[in-house]
Amino acid sequence: MVKIAALGVALALPLLPISQVTPSKAKVHGFSLSGTVASVDASKKTLVVRNQAGAQTRLAWTDATRVLGGKLAAGQMVTLRYLDRDGKHIATTIRIGPPPGAPTPDPNPAPTPSAPPH
């Protein structure tokens, strides 16, 4: 009797659904991008950001997008987070200014000593 029960369990195991390990969409936090704003189209809520390598990325924003540090304009340095939705890059947060941890230029650089006359 025990052998029949064990055989039944062994035969039933392959019929159980195997859980797949896939990341939950709720846990995907998006992508990060830093660069310079190449262009802004406020009427279409789009911007183009050029990274240090020169690659340009077109993004859109929504009413839910958080813009920190002022108003978007071409030429500004930005760091942003975005998600891919419906074939578009949708910005979730845009921070205007240099990326966190980037060296900031010294507003008062030390004077360079001049060479003595010969």
In percent, how much of the chain has pLDDT > 70? Answer: 61
- Quote the pLDDT of residue 102: 65
| pTM confidence score | 0.62
Predicted confidence (pLDDT) per residue in 23-81, tens digit: 444 455 689 999 999 999 999 999 999 999 999 999 999 999 999 999 999 999 999 99
Contact 58, 71 (CB under 8 A): no
Percentages of the chain per state (helix, strand, coil), in multiples of 5:
15, 40, 45
Q: Domain 29-96 class? A: mainly beta
